[in-house]
Structure 1
Amino acid sequence: MATALSIVSPKRNKRLQTGWEGFFPYYAGFPELFVREILSSAELPSDAVVLDPWNGSGTTTYAASQLGLRSIGVDLNPVMIIVARARLLGPSEADHLRPLAATILSHARSAPPAHSPDDPLLGWFQPAAAILIRGIEQNIRRSLVGNMTKSPDGIHLDRISGTAATLYVALFAACRRLAAPFRSSNPTWVRLPKNLEDRVGPSAFSIAQHFADNVRGMAKALAEKHEVDLASGHEAHTATSSIVLSDTATMALEAGSVDFVLTSPPYCTRIDYTAATRIELAVLAPLLKVTARSLGKQMIGSIQVPSAEIEVASDWGDTCSRFLKALKAHPSKASGGYYYKTHLDYFDKISRSIKRVSQALKPSGTAVFVVQDSYYKEIHNDLPAIIAEISEYHGLSSTRMEQFHLRSMSDINPGRKSYQRPAGATESVLCFTK
């Protein structure tokens, strides 16, 4: 099946992120067009199940749903669960958003919550601003997070309604806009202020306006998208999508239950995916069972040193073994210690995750991974080759590879000029069958 797939460039195009899609600008491995082309050309049966074990902002589950395919999206970051569920909101809900937002803002103003010195929002916002933002969040929670989401062991974010998720995304966007002074050259990173007096203190009016404008814009974009679909004769079929909060390395999926896997594993480029959503995690703090730091340690590509000792495993393949050997022997500071250990953690989690993916895939099913290479100093980390070897070990047979050269965020690091290596990166689309 994989040889007949239509594969376009997996590079994201910001110019295409307009309308409804413009409200989900989170770091992702590929654009919606890439997913649509592949899934449409795969000619899957109507009862097929599509899996994205690193679902992120929900591009795969959204596109699959629009094509009438059942899908499962897995992610460990609670923020991405909220974003992916909001993205699936049906057009019929557009009319409900603005009245709900108005009610939530009214309650937040009339009965603000008590000041909590432990509120993580205080990392960026002065107390008065943090209280109002928390008031909006609290009223979203009280109004829209019901008994299906709550349980004796806490909040199950993967059961939250699309409407609640959409209002949370509107609040996320407002907080990111208000905390704009703390953005860095890395688009995935929002830093913390060095001093408490540097925290921003937007007015109550400004906070409410940003939130209301986002909700208004989302409602308008959702309604317009529906009208465009109707006019073009491409009305979305929509199908069931399950968004699951889980660690991919330990996820519990029924063996042989998935027809098609389309995903982009976290790249081995030291991107802290938890830090990239630290403001959103602060907004969600009352709903979370884990701290941002402990979540960061669980993530694939964590920049924290693992607690347990990890040994190089045979299932990682020869390419990985050679890369790790060169990394460990590199003369630069911490190469043989900190960096070696964090890379061991990365490959251990990746291998265990691919094993789970292979087990979930049906015999003769297809898996497509989008993988980007990188460099440690001048040492080439050929992650596409490593992922291919790990996948082969776990029962997947390589059938096709397409490569695309693109700019890399690592190029903005001035330290890279100290080492001889080519600019940019190669993004590979790897196709496998079971």
Structure 2
Amino acid sequence: MESISITPTIINPKRVFKKTTGEEWYNYYAGFSDDFVSEILNSFELPKDSVILDPWNGGGTTTLNCALAGYNVIGIDLNPVMNIVAKSKFCNTDDVLMALDIVKYLRVNNYPNKLNDESDFLLNWFDYNTASYIRYISFSLQNKCNTILNSKVFSLIFLALFKLVRKYIGKFIPSNPTWVKKAKNSNDKISIESTKIKIDLKNILREKLSATFVDNVSSIGKERFYCASSTKLPLKEHSVDAVITSPPYCTRIDYGIATSPELAVLLGNHPAEIDNIRRTLTGRTTIDKSFLEIESLGLTAKKMLLEIFNHQSHASVSYYYKNFAQYFIDINESLKQIKKVLKRNGYFACVVQDSHYKEIYCDLALIFTEMAEENGLSLIHRQDFMSKFVMANINSKVKKYRDKITANETVLIFQAN
């Protein structure tokens, strides 16, 4: 690919739901819009045999829209739930009908009890019988398909089960979609008959018959998905033509907890696996015990870390300094990986959002730019958009440190040297 001076068309990346393809496939609050991806992609003017990567693929907006445009796509996410959601979007009508046929043969009586013990994650919200039936469905599906991520049909059934469980536990999900409460006692737990669960599961699948994305597309690109970390991309060097992504913002959101209902369905009988996912995701709220090397992070990141370290508020040194440091270290390592897999002069577009720690400003766009350019990625375009909806507004204590609670979402476009 030759070095090309482009003037990209960039629209506000904020996701706005449009009912153009039937019922919304899956309500994942994070991410950017379909139109944003399409406009960025068109600006790159890449040949159709190009490979597009999203190393923080989330719900799969990049992979779906780029594949619908005819490009080959790779989606990578460390959270297995999000990979299943992204894979399921490639189902056509025949896949939905096949999924319905599989669900038809699920038992509603005399099904084997697959709850390991009282530690099963589903018991956080459901009574024993309800949790036992949902676990039976999950176990049955995984037993029939060893690698869910390789099957559009089984990914779709799991997506339907994710949606159903999230619907059932709606009373435990407050206004902040990244928080999920647990039942305080047995009387607060949800009880649903197995027959109703099976009926509801089939109804969600039937809704997808009018909501598939790929049926009317003449040619769709090939898709590949990996459950892997952005800090260790399982790809060959110089194998990707462009990256379109949005990393987790520096806002201390626990994405493991945010998807805990779905993780409960998938892995809830192995709570240690869920905990391990929480402790390895970019932007995690847990603290690593490893040594934190910050010398290569860029001037702005190091300056912010020093301000946090010297802040007088409680736990600034013991927790928040380490939390921000490990986030910046992960981002820096991810940028190294992105540069490694990009072809020469390949494009890297990302959406980031600024934030604050107390009154200390986190200029994430500048931090990203400094790190990216240090790793051989040259900034060729930047565009800022003000966002009034930020998670900080939900926390009333924030106003102790600042009155204006808005944020800038910034689109950064780099080119590999």
TM-score scaled to structure 1, two decimals?
0.90
Match of 1:48 in 2: 50
**Is 1:292 paired with 2:293?**
no
- Structure 2 counterpart of 1:78, which letter? P
Match of 2:158 in 1: 168
- Structure 2 counterpart of 1:213, which letter? N
- Structure 2 counterpart of 1:408, which letter? V
Q: Please tell me whether the aligned partners of residues 17 and 25 of structure 1 are also in contact (alpha carbons under 8 angstroms).
A: no
Alignment of 1:261-410 (within 5 A): 261-285=243-267, 291-314=273-296, 316-406=297-387, 407-410=389-392
Match of 1:232 in 2: none
Out of 3, 6, 16, the residue aligned to residue 6 of structure 2 is 3
**CA distance in 2 between partners of 1:386 and 1:158 (Å):** 34
* Structure 2 residue matching 1:399: 3-state secondary structure: strand
Match of 2:38 in 1: 36
- Structure 2 counterpart of 1:4, which letter? T
Match of 1:85 in 2: 87
Q: 1:132, CA displacement in angstroms?
A: 1.3
Q: Please tell me whether the aligned partners of residues 56 and 81 of structure 1 are also in contact (alpha carbons under 8 angstroms).
A: yes
CA, structure 1 residues 319+355, in 2 after alignment: closer, same or farther (shift >3 Å)?
Answer: same
Q: 1:290, CA displacement in angstroms?
A: 5.8
Match of 1:239 in 2: 221
Q: 1:291, CA displacement in angstroms?
A: 1.4
- Structure 1 counterpart of 2:12, which letter? S
Taking only the aligned residue pairs, the percentage that are identical comes to: 36
Match of 2:186 in 1: 196
Match of 1:135 in 2: 136
Q: Please tell me whether the aligned partners of residues 2 and 431 of structure 1 are also in contact (alpha carbons under 8 angstroms).
A: no
Q: 1:180, CA displacement in angstroms?
A: 0.8
Out of 79, 86, 95, the residue aligned to residue 97 of structure 2 is 95
Match of 1:26 in 2: 28
Q: For residues 269-322 of structure 1, give each alpha carbon's deviation from its aligned partner in whole angstroms, at most 9, with x where no partner exists.
A: 0111111111111111179796111111111111111111213222x1111111
Q: For residues 137-160 of structure 1, give each alpha carbon's deviation from its aligned partner in whole angstroms, at most 9, with x where no partner exists.
A: 2232234x05xx3xxxxxxx543x
- Structure 2 counterpart of 1:137, which letter? S
**CA distance in 2 between partners of 1:142 and 1:43 (Å):** 43
Bigger mean CA deviation after superposition, 408-417 or 282-291: 282-291
- Structure 1 counterpart of 2:124, which letter? G
Q: Please tell me whether the aligned partners of residues 365 and 433 of structure 1 are also in contact (alpha carbons under 8 angstroms).
A: yes
Give the paired residue count. 411
Out of 225, 229, 234, the residue aligned to residue 252 of structure 1 is 234
Structure 1: stretches of 5+ with no match in the other structure: 150-156, 230-234
**CA distance in 2 between partners of 1:276 and 1:216 (Å):** 26
**CA distance in 1 between partners of 2:74 and 2:214 (Å):** 23
* Structure 2 residue matching 1:56: 3-state secondary structure: coil
Q: Please tell me whether the aligned partners of residues 96 and 205 of structure 2 are also in contact (alpha carbons under 8 angstroms).
A: no
* Structure 1 residue matching 2:346: 3-state secondary structure: strand
Bigger mean CA deviation after superposition, 182-191 or 163-172: 182-191
Q: 1:268, CA displacement in angstroms?
A: 0.4
Q: 1:42, CA displacement in angstroms?
A: 1.6
Q: 1:85, CA displacement in angstroms?
A: 0.7
Q: 1:365, CA displacement in angstroms?
A: 0.8
Bigger mean CA deviation after superposition, 288-297 or 385-394: 288-297
Q: Please tell me whether the aligned partners of residues 350 and 413 of structure 2 are also in contact (alpha carbons under 8 angstroms).
A: yes
Match of 1:153 in 2: none
Q: Please tell me whether the aligned partners of residues 108 and 198 of structure 2 are also in contact (alpha carbons under 8 angstroms).
A: no
Q: Please tell me whether the aligned partners of residues 109 and 132 of structure 1 are also in contact (alpha carbons under 8 angstroms).
A: no
Q: 1:192, CA displacement in angstroms?
A: 1.6
* Structure 1 residue matching 2:276: 3-state secondary structure: helix
TM-score scaled to structure 2, two decimals?
0.93
CA, structure 1 residues 345+116, in 2 after alignment: closer, same or farther (shift >3 Å)?
Answer: same
Q: For residues 339-372 of structure 1, give each alpha carbon's deviation from its aligned partner in whole angstroms, at most 9, with x where no partner exists.
A: 1011111011110011000111111111101001
- Structure 2 counterpart of 1:142, which letter? N
- Structure 1 counterpart of 2:289, which letter? S
- Structure 2 counterpart of 1:111, which letter? Y
Bigger mean CA deviation after superposition, 114-123 or 346-355: 114-123
- Structure 2 counterpart of 1:372, which letter? Q
CA, structure 1 residues 142+311, in 2 after alignment: closer, same or farther (shift >3 Å)?
Answer: closer
| RMSD value, Cα | 2.0
**CA distance in 2 between partners of 1:288 and 1:50 (Å):** 34
**Is 1:210 paired with 2:200?**
yes
**CA distance in 2 between partners of 1:137 and 1:72 (Å):** 26
Match of 1:125 in 2: 126
Task: Considering fraction of residues, name the structure with more helix.
Answer: 1
Structure 2: stretches of 5+ with no match in the other structure: none
Q: 1:330, CA displacement in angstroms?
A: 1.3
**CA distance in 1 between partners of 2:51 and 2:269 (Å):** 30
* Structure 1 residue matching 2:13: 3-state secondary structure: coil
Q: Please tell me whether the aligned partners of residues 410 and 416 of structure 1 are also in contact (alpha carbons under 8 angstroms).
A: yes
* Structure 2 residue matching 1:291: 3-state secondary structure: helix
